[in-house]
Amino acid sequence: MAIRLIPKDENFFLMFDEQAENVVEGARRLVDLMSDYSDVEQKVRKISSVEHSGDEITHAIVEKLNKTFITPFDREDIHELSSGLDDILDYIDAIVRRMALYGVSAPTEEAVHLANIILRSAEETAEAVTELHNFRKSGHIKKHFIEIHRLENEADQISRTAIAKLFECESDAKEIIKWKELYEYLETAIDKCEDVANIIEGVVLKNA
Amino acid sequence: MAIRLIPKDENFFLMFDEQAENVVEGARRLVDLMSDYSDVEQKVRKISSVEHSGDEITHAIVEKLNKTFITPFDREDIHELSSGLDDILDYIDAIVRRMALYGVSAPTEEAVHLANIILRSAEETAEAVTELHNFRKSGHIKKHFIEIHRLENEADQISRTAIAKLFECESDAKEIIKWKELYEYLETAIDKCEDVANIIEGVVLKNA
Amino acid sequence: MAIRLIPKDENFFLMFDEQAENVVEGARRLVDLMSDYSDVEQKVRKISSVEHSGDEITHAIVEKLNKTFITPFDREDIHELSSGLDDILDYIDAIVRRMALYGVSAPTEEAVHLANIILRSAEETAEAVTELHNFRKSGHIKKHFIEIHRLENEADQISRTAIAKLFECESDAKEIIKWKELYEYLETAIDKCEDVANIIEGVVLKNA
């Protein structure tokens, strides 16, 4: 009779997949709002409800963590990964709430562009999360990190140019205040994807 | 002869009570400043001295933590709870310092309202901290969490409406810049109470 | 034959020295840019490349940490110290990038003053890092902490006065938005030196 080792709990991976998918869902709705700026209030409410689902998944992960003795990787990393994913969605939610709050009449071209980069970063992040299941074997995960870093650089360039343009061309101080903040939030959502990529990279390294 | 177990150090609870009471004291003085906007400089100085006392308590907790072998709950949670409480007071201090710095002539109605919510959140937080003493037995602690979340939602609504009004009705860009920041700080002080509630909730869960 | 204990890895100290020296290098170049505001683009690019070297050192420290079994002090503190030093340089980089982005034509007197305080804080921080090698014996380290706190207070005073002056004397809202942010970033760079000093102080206390 063989000794049965206590199996590490694989369910965490499924919960992370669910959380990452929910982030992608939020990003998809952000792009939809930006590309078709109608029914704004209803679309914003829907994004807030996606964000709320995200909070519930995060909460479930923390609760599971408190009850689980053997985890598939470091407890602290599980916690960081979960709140990192949560942060992305928080920023997406903050962006659209602010657009409604500030009575933005139409998104700028740069804002639409940045929203699309958020979606692509969220998708790459979700794929890296899925690769975590096989972190001892996977060679594919690196290309997601590289792509996320590339997207972050691209977004950085776009938001910087947009802010410089704002100070040069916009004469209404109110518009400058509103759009400067919106660009910063859009860029931060992408930075948060990069943070998650860095957390995953750390987990992969430690468990190599 | 019975075996004497090393007792967990109960003094941490008393130190947290002291720290939470000091936060309430700061919040009370904030409400006083907002409701009766006279002797501003003197009142601001007094709040800064309350904040300074808070720093000393935090420092004492960290020092005690470094010297204590068996703690009443996780070391990391003790650290987080203490700096969480410290953050609330830091924001209260930042609000009044900024009001003085910006030469605010009178607080708006919404600012007075938000200050009152900060006080109520601080009081609820202090009561939750006190309940920590009995975390294995207490059924009362939950109602404090619920009330803090309710207050946070209320504050969120007020500050959002205030900022929207600012962009609609205020024509002086300087005033927009000043008050937008003040509303954000007021709201963040309440968010920090919610953060502390979440830390306490985690401690209760882990020690249930 | 004596038993050979596994030696704690001393190389971490050398890596921290290198990282701290790199921070000082960045601060020196910031002062140079502020004092002689010419060839701005080229000087900004050079500071960004110093910041990039800093990232590489941080990365090397994290990688070494993941592979090292016995560390000279707590793993978590090594991590915090390294990212703390990284933060200082991130802010220095952000300051000069924003000056270029906003098309600042000349730094204000207060900005030059604050840049000089950043350099002095960075130098004191680097000396405190060097003292870490001897943390069981050193009595000199305290004077660096005291000086860093003094510099932080001085900077706080300068940036507050500068911001108050901005709201009083500047009529162009764009300039207020730009300079308010720049002063806040300059001050935060110094706050980050103080954060590092606090981390080092904690390490010294725990290992006393």
Give ∠ CA B22-B37-C154 in degrees, rounded to 5: 65
Q: What's the whole-number average pLDDT of chain B?
A: 92
CA nearest to A62 within chain B: B202
Q: Who has greater pLDDT, A63 or B199?
A: B199
B103 interfaces chain C, CB cutoff of 8 Å: yes
pLDDT digits (tens, 9 = 90+) for C128-141: 999 988 765 667 88
CB contact at 8 A, C13 and C81: no
* pLDDT surpassing 60 at residue B5: no
- Cross-chain residue pair A202–C103, CB shorter than 8 Å: no
Interface membership of B66 toward C (CB under 8 Å): yes
Find chain C residues with C-beta within 8 A of B102's C-beta: 164, 167
Q: Calculate mean pLDDT across residues C107-117.
A: 98
User: Which bin fits B38, alpha (ψ -120 to 50), beta or left (φ > 0)?
Assistant: beta
Q: Which of C164, C177, C205 sits opposite B101 (nearest CB)?
A: C164
Q: Rounded CA gap, C140 and C122, in Å? A: 17
* Average pLDDT, integer, range B108-136: 93
Helix orientation angle between B109-131 and B75-101, rounded to the nearest 10 degrees: 160
Question: What is the mean pLDDT of the segment spanning C83-107?
Answer: 96
Q: Chains contacting C with at least 3 CB pairs below 8 Å?
A: A, B
Residues of C in contact with A164 (CB under 8 A): 101-103
Q: Does B205 touch chain A (CB under 8 A)?
A: yes
B110 Cα to chain C: minimum distance (Å): 23
Q: Does C167 touch chain B (CB under 8 A)?
A: yes
Q: Nearest residue on chain B to A68, judged by CA atoms? A: B206
Interface B–C counts its CB contacts (< 8 A) at 24
Averaged over B116-136, what is the pLDDT? 91
Which other chains touch chain A, taking contact as 3+ CB pairs less than 8 Å apart?
B, C
State whether CATH 3.20.20.70 applies to domain B12-206.
no
CB atoms < 10 A from the CB of B54, how many? 25
**C101 closest CB neighbour out of A164, A176, A205:** A164
d(CA C44, CA B23): 43
- Note the pLDDT of residue A185: 97
Q: What is the DSSP string of B43-75?
A: HHHHHHHHHHHHHHHHHHHHHHHHH-SS-SS-H
The model carries a pTM of 0.88
Residue with tokens 């000349």: C106
**Residues from chain A contacting residue C177 (CB–CB below 8 Å):** 173, 176-177, 180
pLDDT at A89: 97
Q: Please indicate if any CB of chain B lies within 8 Å of the CB of C160.
A: yes
Nearest CA in chain A to B76: A76
Model pLDDT for residues C18-34, shown as the tens digit of each residue:
999 999 999 999 999 99
What is the Cα–Cα distance from C121 to C149, expressed in whole angstroms?
A: 9
Q: Find out whether B197 and B149 touch, Cβ atoms under 8 Å.
A: yes
Residues of chain A short of pLDDT 70, as ranges, are 1-10, 135-138, 208
| A88 and A125 Cβ atoms separated by less than 8 Å | yes
**pLDDT given for residue A41 in this prediction:** 94
pLDDT of the residue at B67: 84
Mean pLDDT of C150-177: 96
What local confidence, expressed as pLDDT, does residue A144 receive? 94
Q: Which residue of C has its CA nearest to B100?
A: C164
* pLDDT above 70 coverage of chain C, percent: 93
Q: pLDDT of A114-149, one tens digit each?
A: 999 999 999 999 999 999 887 656 678 889 999 999
Domain ranges of chain C: 11-206
pLDDT at A136: 58
C69 touches chain A (CB under 8 A): no
C80 has a chain B CB within 8 A of its CB = no
How far apart are the CA of C173 and the nearest CA of chain A, in angstroms? 6
Residues of C in contact with B173 (CB under 8 A): 173, 176
ipTM, two decimals, is 0.83
Confidence band of B137 (pLDDT split at 50, 70, 90): low
Contact B173 C168 (CB under 8 A): no
Instruction: Give the number of beta-carbon pairs within 8 Å between A and C.
Output: 24
**What is the chain B residue with the closest CA to A178?**
B167
Judging contacts by C-beta atoms under 8 Å, the chain B residues touching residue A63 are 205
Q: Which sign does the torsion angle of CA B138, B140, B141, B142 carry? A: positive
pLDDT at C12: 92
- Whether A101 sits inside 8 A of B176 (CB atoms) is no
**Does the CB of B146 have a partner CB in chain A at under 8 Å?**
no
Q: In the 8-state DSSP scheme, what is residue C207?
A: T
Q: Confirm if A180 and A188 have CB atoms less than 8 A apart.
A: no
Say how far apart CA A53 and CA C83 lie, in whole Å: 32
pLDDT at C70: 87
Which residues on B lie below 8 Å from A102 (Cβ)?
A: 164, 167
CA gap B191, B202 in Å, rounded: 17
Task: Give, rounded to a whole angstrom, the gap between the first and last alpha carbons of chain A.
Answer: 30
What superfamily in CATH does domain C11-206 come from? Phosphate transport system protein phou homolog 2; domain 2 (1.20.58.220)
Alpha helices in A105-172 (DSSP H): 109-131, 141-169
Long-range contact set of residues A116-120: C-beta below 8 Å, sequence gap at least 24: A116/A31, A117/A151, A117/A154, A117/A155, A117/A158, A117/A190, A118/A27, A118/A30, A118/A31, A118/A92, A118/A155, A118/A186, A118/A189, A118/A190, A118/A193, A119/A24, A119/A27, A119/A28, A119/A30, A119/A31, A120/A151
pLDDT digits (tens, 9 = 90+) for B45-92: 999 999 999 999 998 998 898 888 888 888 889 999 999 999 999 999
User: According to the model, what pLDDT value does residue C46 have?
Assistant: 97
Which residues are within 8 A (CB) of C8 and not within 5 positions of it... i.e. 6 or more apart? C70, C71, C72
Residue B208, judged by CB atoms within 10 A of its CB (0-12, 13-18, 19+), counts as exposed
Q: Which residues contact C187 (CB under 8 A, 6 or more apart)?
A: C114, C155, C156, C159
B178–C173 C-beta distance less than 8 A? no
Q: Is C14 on the interface with A (CB under 8 A)?
A: no
